[in-house]
A and B are shown apart, each in its own frame.
Chain A
Amino acid sequence: MRNKRPAYSDLMKEIREGKFVLTGELEPEKTTGLEEILVSARAMKPYVIAANVTDNPLAMAFMNSLVPSYVVQRDVGLETVYQMVIRDRNRLALLSDVLAAAHLGIKNILAISGDHTVLGDHKGALPVYDLDSAQFVYMLSKLIDEGVDLEGNEIHGKVPINVGIAANPNANPLEPEILKVERKTKIGADFIQTQTMFDIDLTKEFLKETERLNCPTLIGVFPLKSFGIADFFDKYIPGVSVPKDLLESMRKCKEEPDKEKRKMLYDEVNMEFFAPFIREIRKTTKAAGVHVMAVLYERILEPLVAETM
């Protein structure tokens, strides 16, 4: 096992202190404006220790995630987790962006593969995949811990960044997924943020494995803002299904004609499902925390935190 690198980020510090942490998620879109991101960031700031900023999720070409990662830290004072996919950049471009991120005071990078270009909105693009996400973690370790690039060239200045990876506890078969996580923890991953979970048993099974690997794990949860989102999730996100009861309750909320009442009903349903879910994780597992992907649904954070923390 490699030596632990220092906790550079507040996220990593709180994890090491044994606090149960919450991270949020911000999604830059096809826009040149940052207003919405900043509104969301301000709304979630009281409840989360850091917010991930997604990098062309689902292979959709959106605004570069480094800029909002920086601006949110600067203007909102909320630490960010700069997500970087290896789909769109070769090793030179990845390195350039990491150095720029270090200069801008980014403290967390989530190194991920990213959905394939054929799933996105530029299906005809040439995907890069020069490095894979494990090799990117390897490159980050060299930059952060040794101050050199992949070729051994010296970097001037420090790269004080903690490295996160993604994992999918829903994966079936699960064993290759676990072995992959193990591989990455050996070469320099500091923490894991998982895919969205609805199943507590699968969550616990996965957490047992990551505990063995000694890698702090944040379980992904996805509060459902509307029936439409729940239904989309259930139908189109492969390998993840929304529990039938939850989906049914969401469907019932949809029938409420009054907008404000409907919102309240949706919130109630989400609280009924996610509050016990998060409490269970917090009380009975060694999870480091939860990663709440409540994109544009920040209002759920306040009651969720009140009920679970």
Chain B
Amino acid sequence: MIITKQKPFEKIMEMTEPFGKLFVVGCGKCATVCQTGGENEVHGMVEKLSDKISGFTVVEEPCDLRLTRRDLKEHKETIAESDAVLVMNCGVGVQTIAEYTGKIALPALDTMFIGMTERIGRYYERCKACQDCILDETGGVCPIARCPKALLNGPCGGQVEGKCEVGEYKDDCAWVLIWKKLTEQDRLEEFTKFRPPRNHYTKILTTKLIS
């Protein structure tokens, strides 16, 4: 899931200040689960900015252009008359809506990462979308997302009692976790093997996937 966090309200005030009428768009998927841009949060925002609001809705999945088109159709005129859309989505949603409506789109949320939800309010980054998944070799622990140096041949000298030098030794060292998992699985050869430098060429060029 894409994990989002609401911007501080003062920041939202500042951002929306130059605009008269605002149309607010929420997200029925990730931002609903994160409680950052679902029905409740959209209502909350509408209440707080009541004198500026022209209308609002929650799109089922704003990162899907088809659903955005479908769900925003009935609001077309209100949106056209608004000065800007305030989008309570991840960055993908904001751009889809900007593209579809042609309006100035204001992000009410900050997009944090691709993460796992433990429970509401506790999210952990788990994947950096590196386009070359090696979780099969690393005991199901991603070193790209979970080692702050993204080492492919860890651990570095910064682990102390299995904790990482980044973040004051509170978080687990991803490479110690990988070592533990591979030991459990009796696959230490996967740990010891050398992983050559990554080829970033394809990743840089692959910003779309078209079949």
Contacts and interface: CB of A to CB of B under 8 A. Distances in A.
Interface residues of B, number: 31
A177 to B, nearest CB: 7
Contacts of B151: 113, 129, 132
Given A132-B154, A176-B176, A113 B149 contact: yes
A3 interface: no
Given A171-B157, A195-B157, A115 B152 contact: no
A205 B169 CA distance: 25
A130 to B, nearest CB: 8
A180 B155 contact: yes
A239 B169 CA distance: 10
Interface stretch (B18-26, B122-130, B188-196): B188-196
B92 interface: no
A187 B196 CA distance: 10
Contact residues of B: prevailing secondary structure: loop
25 contacts: A91-B197, A113-B151, A113-B156, A116-B158, A116-B166, A118-B166, A118-B167, A127-B149, A129-B151, A130-B197, A132-B149, A133-B156, A134-B153, A138-B197, A167-B157, A171-B159, A171-B160, A172-B162, A175-B179, A176-B175, A176-B191, A177-B155, A179-B188, A183-B193, A239-B160
Interface of B: 148-162, 165-167, 169, 175-176, 179, 188, 191-197, 200
Interface of A: 87, 91, 112-113, 115-116, 118-119, 127, 129-135, 138-139, 150, 166-168, 171-173, 175-177, 179-180, 182-184, 186-187, 195, 238-239
Given A134-B153, A176-B155, 15 more contacts: A91-B197, A112-B157, A113-B157, A118-B166, A132-B154, A132-B156, A135-B196, A166-B157, A171-B157, A176-B159, A180-B154, A182-B192, A183-B153, A186-B194, A239-B161
